[in-house]
A and B are shown apart, each in its own frame.
Chain A
Amino acid sequence: MYQYNEFDEAFVRDRVETFRGQVARRIDGSLTEDEFKPLRLMNGLYLQLHAYMLRVAVPYGTLNPVQMRKLADIADTYDKGYGHFTTRQNIQFNWPKLQDVPDILSDLADVEMHAIQTSGNCIRNVTADHFAGAAADEIEDPRPTAELLRQWSTDHPEFAYLPRKFKIAITGAPNDRAVTKAHDIGLRMQRDAQGNPGYEVIIGGGLGRTPMIGKVLRAFLPKADLLPYLEAILHVYNLHGRRDNKYKARIKILVHETGLEAIREQVEAQFLLQRAAFEPVAEQVIANIEAAFAPPAYVSRPIGGDDASDAGFRSWMDTNIADHKRDDYAIVSISLKPIGGTPGDASSEQMRVMADLAERYGHSELRVSHEQNIILPHVHRADLALIYAALKAVGLATANIGLLSDMIACPGMDYCALATARSIPIAQEISTHFDALKIERDVGPLKIKISGCINACGHHHVGHIGILGLNRAGVENYQITLGGDGTETAAVGERAGPGFAADDLIPAIERLIEAYLELREAPEETFLDAYRRLGQAPFKAALYPDQVTRNAA
């Protein structure tokens, strides 16, 4: 994986010591909160409802076992023995004390990690497919491109003061696991007619207050043209993006207001200029980056027979295993969604077990997925039964990836100071309720995503069933959206109707699921497919039965 170079290491150490001084001056009263707040936010430290929260960056969601163990140690030493993995592929600690934070940052620096947030209106951390470098459907590992983009955009003078923050996601596979259509720029690797790799360039996606699905700006961009082409996009955005209104400043609004055609003309014209003036990145730089993401030393040995007698193992194999680019290897998704648990949480003990398994069986690689699970991307199929047994011993063998209980839920009002309602208890209740009904397998692939406010960290807009927690007249109220999709067939979910009080929400979702089971043509027709075929009406009728009776009367 990518190793810090000397500059990065010195830079991070320096930042930790600077922050240590700032914390000391805040505690002794020589810095006011107004002065200190921007400094702590730059170091990933937020003040939430009940405590501080430290958000630690996990670039491209890639972790090694040493880092995972360090996260476990931090959880034990300075927190309450657990961590929360987020939809931004980060980890958050919910209970650090202010005076301990410099020590935590120093411990992180020991394993080449940090909590520095690329805050401000610049190009943020580039996110990538969590199966990158392993997936069977992948054209190329997208992470070298992501790293190249990071190096290119860091301190790029033209892009330090964009109208607003700017997020890029990249996937090397046609199956989009990186939600590229919900980013300012999404890049999907493609091959041209000659088989050369390049990118489909998607522009103007985003969730939050004004959700929009990105549009294809360029169907195929040769790899070598990537940087000048992105410079052209950013140049156009920098010139024309709105700076008068924070809520209208993202590139999605520019694309929406100007029109895709007009933006494309401007970008393509600018691209010709950028390309003519562009100094190609030195081959050595590219070679170094690619070497840093070189595939592991795979081992060829017999797969052996699975222990097919264990029903638990079989159902885990059904849902939690994805195809690796090598036939004798597999990708393991470790579910952080135990029935009734908090989506994305892992105890220090669980972190250590995952680290050990990665070290022993997984070429020392771990990934954090935006769906709040942990991935072992390179596992020999001969070892799957052992891994399952080890996971099961610490409550990590929930066989539910891609199913109803594999929900995304943001921290919501149990932790987050911005929340308008809670999301975690809703996720817990849904998971417990449907587990008791034992219909999850029958229901099949289903994505429920829950956010505790309009900021949409829980990606509710792209959930097949999206749930948004709001405050309605002093009571928590939950709005349902239907038909959202975060993959290559992305769509923003449509609001179904008035929201539900917490107590009415679970029965409403049960009616929805029952309606789907009735309506589907065959078990193979997923919830999303049925919704697309039938439209909202029958699902709405299930959600609001009284209304239908009233209208019919």
Chain B
Amino acid sequence: MSRRPVDLTRWLVVAPPTLFLLAFFLAPALIVVAASLREPGEFGGLAPLDNLRQLTAESYRFLLGDPIYAEIFARSFVVAALTTLICVVLAYPLAWLIARSPKRRRDFLVLLVVLPFASNFLVRIYAWIMLLGPANLLYTPFAVIAGLVYVHLPFMVLPLYTNLEKHDPALLEAAQDLGASRWTRFWRITFPLSLPGIGSGSALVFIPVLGMFAVPELLGGTGDILIGNLIKEQFLDNRDWPLGSALSILLTAAVLGLAGVAALAGRRGAGGTGAVS
């Protein structure tokens, strides 16, 4: 009897975000899938579609046929993984120090971490050009990685800090009381409990790096292009929308596949962990 109003309320709450996702996420994705199956137009865009038999997997065939694309994919994933790894190594001590500092100072330190966002992204990249140029490091893979790490570091620091800040100091005292040295306390208590933080930080770094085109384009050489550059090129320079769409779809599929594997591995490895998110 009283179910009706509850159901109605639930629908009223759930409907707007659902509609939003349908309209602005799923629909564009489907449009991209559709675009990837069509012919390029004569002057860019898409060729007119008269009947469904004109749909073609030509773009995919082309991408899978030329090993250069597989190579760029592989290199992009390596670069993204390397960037993520360096971000973890740099962000961990920083996040740990912030989480350990007195409560009143923490907010200020977090503000410092996100402060670079206050200035324009391109301006900051140009600053790197001025820094790396005189050192003869510009247009090298090093410059690309440095730029990517610099841009994405806050996305690793913030989730890690949020995680580390929640750790119960009593756990470390208990471990010490039971005979664990400083190092052991870190590896047996702090580190495993921070894995969820590392996980979310890694997702926030790894995935955007794959789509990033500005950093490789401005700081990297011709050999340093990533999938992001390739996609951007298809749309803006080659005007081959179907090929660009097919590249996006393959990238999305690869990322989703990877996320699935990571989730499975996480579930198997973590067992009953659930205390610290």
A binds B: no
Which positions in B face A, CB cutoff 8 Å?
none
